Amino acid sequence: MSQPDPDAWRRQVRQWLATVLEPVPAPESTAQAADLAVFHNLPEDEERLLLDRCRAYQRARFDAGYQALTLPEDKGGAGLSAAHVAVFAQEESAFEVPPSTELISVTVRLVAMAVSLFGTDEQRHGHARAFLRTDLLACQLFSEPGAGSDLAALRTRARQDGDEWVIDGQKVWTSGAQFADYGLLLARTDPDVVKQAGITAFLVPMNAPGVEVRPIRQMSGGASFNEVFLSGVRVPDRLRIGRPGQGWEVANATLAFERTASGSGNRRKGGTFPDVLALARSLGRTGDPLVRQRLADLYVRAALRAATVDRVARTSAAGGRPGPEASLTKLMASELLTRTGQVAAELMGARISADTGEPGTFAWTQHLLGAPGYRLAGGTDQIQRNLIGERVLKLPPEPRVDRAPFSQLPGD
């Protein structure tokens, strides 16, 4: 089936967006105080209201055929090219899209895609479609206290009991688990093979007996992350995603989608260059040559990241799984967030440590406290550099001492 011409399709997208969203206000009518938080820090009732707004837009987008644009049609997507994704993002940026959340992003961009690619026809129809439309919400149950960057060292176990699997273990840093219907979980099903080969993926109902969600209080005051305990949780085999032992392949594909989402997502994350520039102007610092130099450096980095995101989007194969280039966009995003906060802190000095009542100043603490966490989300900066070094630059891989079966490794 031939794809629509991107320019003609652009007009169609713009017309549809105008029917469901309001245009972005002119700069002079935009409120001074922007949301500078990297991660949401909202009370539960406000978070639920935000989720409702996000879901209403995602459902409208799905129903209009604009969700999962590059996913092949036989997998439930639109089967369009990366160029169409870029066009949609450009047109969408002119409208006031409801601010998304980590849970919405994980549901639509990660879990839905993983189930679409690796699931059965029944799973694609019954779950992937519901995730893409956000009729169901899903969190990601990957990281563990003892298996963060080395995810393949996870120790959550799943043993088969008839047509069910019994799962025991602990997950951590799970965004939105308290609101999720399902969790995409990785568990060790075979300890007698190398650690990457013995992992299987499952969809776990978050209301299943034995699932306990405990919030983790962040230093910014919010609790958007959680630790999840699983004690004798029974999951039917029909909720297994992929073959037994295929979990590492599912994980790699999902993490690549996560890095792409982290590096190029539409949701505003923290302060931006225009926010820093507005801050410098309000403080009367734009005449300082050193400040101007810092602002110019930040502007160039923001422009380079935007250009890289656009290039990756345009060159990605339609419907293909993101490759190591996703690590580059994610690394640039976390680096830009860090530098943005540093420049803002240098401009304000002591003002950043206390609320003086000046608009747009103390709010930067939310950015500064959240930016370090973004260097961990979607894989640490160090892991991204390893991936770029080994898979893009073709450098020699790091020495590996864990080639033995998992059950024979120290600490098991």
Quote the CA–CA distance of 343 and 248 in Å, as a whole number.
39
CA distance 251 to 235: 19
Q: CB neighbours of 97 closer than 8 A, spacing ≥ 6?
A: 21, 57, 266
**Orientation angle between helical segments 289-315 and 247-264, nearest 10 degrees:** 140
Q: Which of 258, 325, 335, 358 is catalytic?
A: 258
276 in Cβ contact with 343 (< 8 Å): yes
218 and 39 Cβ atoms separated by less than 8 Å: yes
**Is 390 an active-site residue?**
no
Q: How many CB atoms lie within 10 A of CB 217?
A: 9
Could you tell me which residues are beta bridge partners of residue 199? 188
153 DSSP assignment: G
**Residues 404, 412: Cα–Cα separation, whole Å:** 12
Alpha helices by DSSP H, 194-288 = 247-264, 273-282
Exposure pattern of 55-75 as b/e (b: 16+ CB <10 Å)? bebbebbbeeebbbbbbbeeb
Residues forming a β-bridge with 146: none
Determine contact, residues 173/223, Cβ cutoff 8 Å: no
Give residue 139's region: left, alpha or beta (phi > 0; psi -120 to 50): beta
347 sits in which H/E element: helix 325-348
Break the chain down into helix, strand, coil percent, rounded to 5.
50, 15, 40
Tokens standing for residue 253: 């594909």
Mind telling me the catalytic residues? 258
